Amino acid sequence: MNEFKTTMFLSERSINEFKEIYEKKFGKKLTQAEASESAHNLANFCKIIYDWGKEDYLRQLRLKKEPKGFHLTDGTYTCAICHESISGDSAWYDKFGIKCTTCQGAVEKRIIPGSICEKQDSWYDMWELDSYYDLKSSAVRKLIREEKLKARIVPTEDGKPHCYIFLIKDNLGVLHPKPESIVKQGEDGYISIHQPKLVFGNGKRKN
């Protein structure tokens, strides 16, 4: 199965050149079908990277004219904070990255810092507390009420919680830097990624 949908056409000459380079690099001869699939996947991956870079460059140019930010109306995106799918008037872009307008409002009101869009390792959200600390949402809310855990709550327009942000700097000695994920490969070659389990309050690993 192709990892990327074929959107480019490569000539037979280009595919043969790829076969030669691959054999010199890895010492393995590819069939014409294998070489064609691999070459197209590589070309399409490069195209994705190029398109992303071009898109980012154009946004940076626009930010010079609109430094406070602007709506993204050319597609569907994911908010870097609450992770909701957004588009059109609900999608906002500024120097910190892509956010929904609800999270953007919280940044403007200084409820949360905009820098967390890029510094994903400086905070936890609700599901990550479950993933890393085995804390269900009900347990987390209890800890908040008992003032054992400090949350930055992003509100909706009607004042209800949109999402909870737990900054590590707000919870020193309780929440700790996110450890690197554990990558395991099974006997069947399947690669899985696991989050290390931490003990709430002291940061010790369970595994």
Per-residue pLDDT tens digits for 44-97? 877 777 676 777 778 888 899 999 999 998 889 999 999 999 999 999 999 999
pLDDT at position 192 is: 76
Contacts of 68 (CB under 8 A, 6+ apart): 94
Cα–Cα distances in Å, from 170 out to 110, 111, 124? 14, 12, 11
Q: Which two tokens stand for residue 143?
A: 């800890």
pLDDT at position 74 is: 86
Per the listing, tokens 């595919």 go with 15
Share of the chain above pLDDT 90, in %: 52
Average pLDDT, rounded, for the chain: 86
- Which residues of the chain are modeled with pLDDT < 50? 1-6
Distance (Å, whole) CA 85 – CA 83: 7
Distance (Å, whole) CA 165 – CA 168: 10
pLDDT at position 204 is: 56
pLDDT at position 93 is: 95
- Record the pTM: 0.71
Residues facing residue 183 across a β-bridge = 193
Distance (Å, whole) CA 122 – CA 176: 9
